[in-house]
Structure 1
Amino acid sequence: MSASSDDSSVDTHGVTTWEPRTLGDRLAVSLHGTLAANWRVLVVALAALVLLGQFLVAFGLFTTDPFLAVFSAVSVIPALLLVWYIRRQDAEPEPVGTLAVTFVLGGLLASFAALVNTAAGTVFRQIPAVGSILLFFLVVGPGEELVKWLAIRLYAYDRAEFDAVVDGAMYGAAAGLGFASIENVIYITQNALMAIRDGSPVLAATIPTTVARSLAGPGHVLYSAFAGYYLGLAKFNEEHYGPLVVKGIAVAALLHATYNSLSTLLPRLLPMSGVATFAFIILWDGALAVVLVRKLRRYRDVVEEEGPASARSQATASDD
């Protein structure tokens, strides 16, 4: 027979009730309060430490061969132009400062994805035939889209200027641009290091990588823009917050993994693989950009005709 929790004659501490009594209890309360109040700072600080270790190598290469820094900057131009174009579609463009913070967070958090992808890649690539595809769908796509989503959630999401559903798409695009910028540096420096190790010309080895990363960058912008759009829906549909967030990240991850898989398989299956792959990337990114821009323009049209409140309800209704 169990004692009632309100029976003052029975001490139910640790059974049905609890309050901090011991030093360990008080430490647990203090640690929880610190983590709850500063979790954003802790995540960013950890990401910065990881990224610093990765960038020390890149910085050393850039000082000895400045062209590598130029290639890294050039590789981001297509993605940057796409972000600029997306921002032009916004009826009320987001502040540059908030976009810049989101961009930086996207770059910082890319370090987490790089570590996970490298570790998982050594395992999945041991699987014959389908190892890379499984890696894309189970690790790379979900992991990279999750950290880009986190870049929005850490700062922009709670800002007053995030006041419309479609703002999430803009901040998602900024996070994707930051992620792509750091990822491009990592890929380019890795290829430079491999060329140095093999005694090959460094610039000749990194030019193809620069071209490839230039083509991949816009995809990062688009995928996280879709995840951000659903985060915007979630912000203004709080009763469905969880499912909308999950759907947004899942859609972005599926698009991302599908692109990675097709761009990997096409060169192996088709003649004139370089031309075919280039055409595929243009068509793929173009189709996604059309869908995204249509959403933004629909919102802009409703704002001009009926006001922001109506636009929010229109955007919510369009999620089918």
Structure 2
Amino acid sequence: MDFMSGDDTDPVQTANDEPDLYGITTWEKRSRLDSLSVGIYWLIVRTGQAVVILLALATILAIGGLSVLTDPVIGTLTAASALPALVLAAYVWQSDVTSSEPPSLLAITFLLGIVTAGFAAVLNGILQPIFATLEFVGLVLFFYLVVGPVEETVKLLAVRLYAYNDDRFAAVIDGAVYGAVAGLGFATIENAIYISRAIGDIGGLTLGLDLIGIGGDITATRALAGPGHVVYSSFAGYYLGLAKFNPGNRGPIVVKGLVVAAVIHATYNATAGLGTALIRDATGLPELLAFVLYVFGYVGFFGYLLYRKLRRYRRAYLAGLTSDGNAIEERQPDAGPE
């Protein structure tokens, strides 16, 4: 059953042949007051967006998130750690058969993915001690009730703040592309923070052999986390795109996407340690290699589901092409985890 009726016309519009129902059951910008109202609404929306972005920037600066990138060692390791996530985000971008997304929107979404990560860092830091009192059960609850929902929400916020409102966000699949880019931004700053802390714990590194040895181990570990962020937020972003083109059910669709992304994300966090231990004990592999196998299996599985979702969209889009190569209007199938 639809959350809202697909027919949003007033009964008067349906039953009345009067061609002009302006101010009765329809509305459009006509008078100076109408124009003023449109302008005020635009200003309120843009001011709200600016406040959220400035607050996010202030938050990430307050926790030292951006300052870590000014260190050449941390910057080098962070860039290396983000490469797998970058490759995966590039694949999602390449999978968009409708049109190539503008670099400006991609760059802004990436930067917003970085700054909105500060919200997640603060909320996670505040709430983790509360759940820690419940030990193992608390840790699992923390992943499912805080980490997954909060991190996927702030990544989706990075898309919703700017790219979503742009006319060039013109297809459902665009949501997956911008979601992937937001996930890349989030993963990049998260890696930078983790790498900075790890280097601080061992007393620092230099741009010499330490960077190749110890730094390589830290970077390899963080590089495994990035692709997951891209996959999770691609799912949420896809549903955000679906919501944009199905306004009658926008709220439930967005919620569905967030639930899918948050559960996949939280399950990874909750099972990574156990899964790695089981692989290590069964194969005798070192801890790091066992972890690599687990990540490849888990993220690879959901990456495959994302691939299927993007492929179904591609097939539906191509099937909707007319003989002269122009796409028809209805090209927004739903696929993937239900």
Q: TM-score range by the shorter chain?
A: 0.7 to 0.9
Residue of structure 2 equivalent to 1:312: 331
Decide which of 79, 86, 89 is 1:80's aligned counterpart: 86
Aligned pairs for 1:8-27 (under 5 A) are none
* CA root-mean-square deviation: 2.5
**How do 1:169-318 and structure 2 match up within 5 A?**
169-196=176-203, 206-269=215-278, 270-271=280-281, 272=285, 273-307=287-321, 308-309=327-328, 312-313=331-332, 315-316=333-334
1:136 lines up with 2:150 in the alignment: no
Gap change, CA 1:305 and 1:57, over 3 Å in 2: closer
Q: Quick one: which of 41, 53, 59 aligns to 1:50? A: 59
Which residue in 1 is equivalent to 2:114?
107
Task: Tell me, in whole angstroms, the C-alpha distance in 1 between the residues paired with 2:187 and 2:335.
Answer: 32
What's 2:105 paired with? 98
Deviation at 1:311, TM superposition (A): 5.3
| Per-residue deviation, 1:290 | 1.6
Aligned AA (1:160): D
Corresponding residue number in structure 1 for 2:123: 116
1:209 Cα deviation from its structure 2 partner: 2.8
Q: What is the deviation of 1:229?
A: 0.6
Aligned-partner Cα distance in 1 for 2:59–2:155: 16
Partner-residue secondary structure (3-state), 1:266 = helix
**Structure 2 unaligned blocks of 5 or more:** 1-40, 322-326
CA distance in structure 1 between the aligned counterparts of 2:137 and 2:337, rounded to whole angstroms: 33
Distance 1:277 1:310 in 2: 45
How many corresponding residue pairs? 282
Structure having the higher helix fraction is: 1
Over 3 Å counting, the alpha-carbon distance change for 1:205 and 1:37 in structure 2 is same
Work out the CA distance in 2 between the residues paired with 1:293 and 1:309: 23
Counterpart of 2:35 in structure 1 is: none
Partner Cα separation in structure 1 for residue 45 and residue 77 of structure 2: 41
Q: 1:241 to 1:222 in 2, by over 3 A?
A: same
> Is this contact kept in 2: 1:192–1:202, CA < 8 A?
no
Checking the alignment, whether the CA contact within 8 Å between 1:302 and 1:310 is kept in structure 2 is no
**Whole-angstrom CA distance in 2 between matches of 1:311 and 1:296:** 16
Match of 2:324 in 1: none
Any idea what SS the aligned residue of 1:160 has? coil
Secondary structure in 1 matching 2:255: helix
Tell whether the 8 Å contact from 1:302 to 1:311 is kept in structure 2 after alignment.
no
Secondary structure in 1 aligned to 2:172? coil
SS where residue 130 of structure 1 aligns? Answer: helix
Find the aligned partners of 2:121 and 2:306 in 1 and give their Cα distance. 27
Q: Do the aligned partners of residues 202 and 129 (structure 1) sit closer, same or farther apart at CA in structure 2, a change above 3 Å counting?
A: farther
What's the CA shift for 1:208?
A: 3.1
Q: TM-score with structure 2 length normalisation? A: 0.76
Q: How many angstroms does 1:319 deviate by? A: 8.0
Match of 1:11 in 2: none
Q: 1:127 aligns with which of 125, 129, 134?
A: 134
CA-CA distance at 1:160 after TM superposition: 1.1
Residue 205 of structure 1: CA displacement?
5.4
SS in 2 for 1:166: helix
CA–CA distance in 1 between the matches of 2:335 and 2:80? 40
